[in-house]
Structure 1
Amino acid sequence: MTLPESTSTINWKRNLTVAWLGCFLTGVAFSLVMPFLPLYVEHLGVTGHSALNMWSGIVFSITFLFSAIASPFWGGLADRKGRKIMLLRSALGMSIVMVLMGFASNIWQFLALRALLGLLGGFVPNANALIATQVPRHKSGWALGTLSTGGVSGALLEPMIGGFLADTYGLRPVFFITAAVLFTCFVFTLFCIREQFTPVHKKDMLHARQVLTSLKNPKLVLSLFVTTMIIQVATGSIAPILTLYVRELAGNVSNLAFISGMIASVPGVAALISAPRLGKLGDRIGPERILICALVISVLLLIPMSMVQTPLQLGILRFLLGAADGALLPAVQTLLIYNSSNQIAGRIFSYNQSFRDIGNVTGPLIGAAVSASYGFRTVFLVTACVVLFNALYSWISLRRPTDRTRVLED
């Protein structure tokens, strides 16, 4: 059953604020753990360089893999029971799992808990679905762009806070701190998010095939899913080699970790600034134009990244890339809500999340494989080719104008 809500009109602006805070806290929670994940794997008894690298990659990727599997199920449940209860389930479930991670005694327990974390996740896609079905359609781009900055803002704390806490309090306590952050997210969602939702009987739910046939343009929606996946592949392909590439550019400097952390963070700062503004611009000129332009600009920035000679040059280009990338996922999400109904929004956003998770898994693997065979600089050229394909593919798919006049359903 859904939680009782006030029968008064929904204040979507307040919900947007609280959902932003929830995405921020979720971003903070995951950023606290990520910096020392390999150290915790080593702490659990994994030794040897190759074994440590292998297990670190597995425990990192398995969360996204299981999230991709579970997202459609949770999306269907959200369409049947409501989005708020899915937010509560996700925040509380992840909080409990984080506590258990802090008590893990071997790598197999930790691996199973990382898989469970993926199964129970989904706060961000459900927050997107909730806001997308409440906000006026002509403000969708701005609202979803603003919401996307919540997770980005939280993740920007990664290079600093997580490592500091691990150094100060040890590895295990950070999991308990993370659990407390996620539980705070649960409390804010419970008392501050409002949703008027009438539960739908299971027999009245559309099946997966009916969901696709109910779309005005199913081919377009499927192309947007693929676009989401490629965006994440492009982002993830650079992540494994960034620090090593910076070392190649900077030489043996004493503050390599600081320089790498700064270069890793600047795209997030740029996205934080650009996402709401480009989302608002997309509401005026069309998110499809924003999407295509941002993809083309990304290609034009990735190519010179393969030719830079200093970390400063790389940092400037990554800042500009972040400003363009900040528009990509909000533009895709806006187009998804333009081309679907509120009845199936939860599943549409969950399918999109599954494709995003697949990109999160495959991107780092592609980047690592290319760099091992052809060098770091080739990774940027290969990524540029992938993004160029995405731009052409999206342009072909979006040639038919999107209906942005459809009003929000009651």
Structure 2
Amino acid sequence: MLAKIKHFVLRPRRRWEKNLIILWFGTFMAGIAFSLVMPFLSLYIDTLGTFSTSQLNFYSGITYASTFLVTAIISPIWGRLADRKGRKLMILRASLGMAFVIGLMGLVTNIYQLIFLRLIQGVFSGYISNANALVATETPKDQSGKALGILTTGSVSGTLFGPFVGGVIAALFGYRVTFFITGAILILVFLLSAFFVHETYQPASSGPLKKSWDIFKGLRDTKLVIGMLVATFLIQLGNFSISPIISLYVREIMHNSGPITIASGLVVSIPGVATLLAAPRLGILGDKIGTTRILKLGMLFAVIVFLPMAFVINIWQFGFLRFLIGISNAAMLPAVQTLLAKNTPTAATGRIFSYNQSFQALGSVAGPLIGSSISGIWDYNGVFISTALILFLGLLWVNFATKSKNT
């Protein structure tokens, strides 16, 4: 047994495996950085002015959505540049830009400054998506499900620790210090990526790139790829519809007493435990039995789990259901990315993944706006019911887009 472990640790690594290891650590730290502030962002907004409940819900939705609105618009531009200059450049751009922008969020004095910086943050997004694209282009197709599943655990495990650490820091030192720490972590991500990621893909340095329509016409299965882009939108819309209200929902469940920021951090983090454990296994299983089956099962399970979240009466019930939703998260977006990787030519991977990021960002825009609007009309319970409905519609769409496919 010890000999097998020693061989696994010391055996020579292929180039794509080395990049996978390095980018795993990069996405891990990026996941920590991005999630540190999320459990208390709504509570932070509440300190920037005197707001009614409806105003707080509205500004929370706008603040969450603003970053993703810009990301949706600008991602295709970065995707074209990635296909011409390489994905590593995009990774460096994203990590360094985000470091400064998020750090500045700790200095804002009103909600409008925070929204402005969230808009600027969207310009510098894309570290994790470009890491996915780099791994997808350099990994053998028969290993792509496994590789992307492993890479997913990097950002997910970072997201797992981030909210809890952020909640503790916010409770001990206040909200603003957490933004400064996030900026410092992203500086470390930039340095790690600059010195240790080696891109083997040779991007085109001259000559015209294909137009978007020509890329889609040249795909092996255009319907499947477009179907996965729409599926990404619906999945992200469903998941992010609860983002603006989750800490407020925790506060309501806890009757506005106790360590609310720490509890919010734990509730946000808990799905990461399940995703961390399940994603590599589901990726390997998808390579064997078909990725579409994994995607459909994950979406169905999400529908089943989201519904009872609307009726929990204590934080323990909510935390248990959040753990279960992590299993569905391990199946959904990694499976979509795997299907895109398997059905996209290498020369166009940067742009296809950038389009996927745009659809993901659009879902991240629509989700918080819909969630905050529904919470204002039907209270927080209605958000979870509507999320289950959205994901059920997504399941029907995936079934249509992948009909007669065994991928």
TM-score range, shorter chain: 0.7 to 0.9
Matched with 2:387 is 383
Contact 1:237 1:379 in 2 (8 A): yes
Question: 1:237 and 1:13, CA in 2 relative to 1: closer, same or farther beyond 3 A?
Answer: same
Matched with 1:270 is 274
Matched with 2:296 is 292
Report whether the alignment pairs 1:132 with 2:120.
no
Give me the whole-angstrom Cα distance separating, in 2, the residues matched to 1:39 and 1:245: 11
Of 344, 356, 360, the residue aligned with 2:360 is 356
Aligned to 1:327, what secondary structure does the other structure show? helix
Contact 1:23 1:151 in 2 (8 A): yes
With 263-272 and 116-125 compared, the bigger mean Cα shift is at: 263-272
Matched with 2:331 is 327
Aligned to 1:194, what secondary structure does the other structure show? coil
User: Alpha-carbon deviations, 1:288-340, whole Å to 9, x = none?
Assistant: 11001111222222333344454433333332221122111110000001111
Aligned to 2:138, what secondary structure does the other structure show? coil
CA root-mean-square deviation: 2.6
Matched with 2:399 is 395
Report whether the alignment pairs 1:165 with 2:169.
yes
Give me the whole-angstrom Cα distance separating, in 1, the residues matched to 2:373 and 2:107: 34
Contact 1:156 1:269 in 2 (8 A): yes
Matched with 1:84 is 88
Question: 1:250 and 1:55, CA in 2 relative to 1: closer, same or farther beyond 3 A?
Answer: closer
1:60-139 mapped onto 2 (5 Å cutoff): 60-104=64-108, 107-139=111-143
Contact 2:253 2:313 in 1 (8 A): yes
Give me the whole-angstrom Cα distance separating, in 1, the residues matched to 2:383 and 2:108: 36
Shift of residue 385, structure 1, vs aligned partner: 2.0
Give me the whole-angstrom Cα distance separating, in 2, the residues matched to 1:348 and 1:214: 12
Shift of residue 258, structure 1, vs aligned partner: 4.5
Q: Percent identity?
A: 45
Report whether the alignment pairs 1:48 with 2:81.
no
User: Alpha-carbon deviations, 1:235-285, whole Å to 9, x = none?
Assistant: 122334445555665657635555444333222211111111101110111
Give me the whole-angstrom Cα distance separating, in 2, the residues matched to 1:260 and 1:38: 11
Give me the whole-angstrom Cα distance separating, in 2, the residues matched to 1:53 and 1:390: 26
Aligned to 1:180, what secondary structure does the other structure show? helix
Shift of residue 132, structure 1, vs aligned partner: 0.4
Matched with 2:155 is 151
Question: 1:194 and 1:367, CA in 2 relative to 1: closer, same or farther beyond 3 A?
Answer: same
- Structure 2 segments unaligned to the other structure (5+ residues): 1-12
- Structure 1 segments unaligned to the other structure (5+ residues): 1-8, 405-410
Matched with 1:223 is 227
Aligned to 2:242, what secondary structure does the other structure show? helix
Contact 1:229 1:356 in 2 (8 A): yes
1:338-357 mapped onto 2 (5 Å cutoff): 338-357=342-361
Shift of residue 118, structure 1, vs aligned partner: 0.6
Aligned to 1:400, what secondary structure does the other structure show? coil
User: Alpha-carbon deviations, 1:67-117, whole Å to 9, x = none?
Assistant: 111111111110111111111111112223234444556554443332121
Contact 2:245 2:371 in 1 (8 A): yes
Question: 1:202 and 1:110, CA in 2 relative to 1: closer, same or farther beyond 3 A?
Answer: farther
Question: 1:326 and 1:186, CA in 2 relative to 1: closer, same or farther beyond 3 A?
Answer: same
* TM, length-normalised to structure 2: 0.88
Partner amino acid for 1:46?
G
Give me the whole-angstrom Cα distance separating, in 1, the residues matched to 2:342 and 2:363: 23
Question: 1:264 and 1:37, CA in 2 relative to 1: closer, same or farther beyond 3 A?
Answer: closer
Contact 2:275 2:327 in 1 (8 A): yes
Question: 1:202 and 1:233, CA in 2 relative to 1: closer, same or farther beyond 3 A?
Answer: same
Aligned to 2:204, what secondary structure does the other structure show? coil
With 324-333 and 33-42 compared, the bigger mean Cα shift is at: 33-42
Contact 2:61 2:368 in 1 (8 A): no
Shift of residue 36, structure 1, vs aligned partner: 4.4
Give me the whole-angstrom Cα distance separating, in 2, the residues matched to 1:168 and 1:377: 31
With 326-335 and 168-177 compared, the bigger mean Cα shift is at: 168-177
Partner amino acid for 1:32?
L
With 176-185 and 162-171 compared, the bigger mean Cα shift is at: 162-171
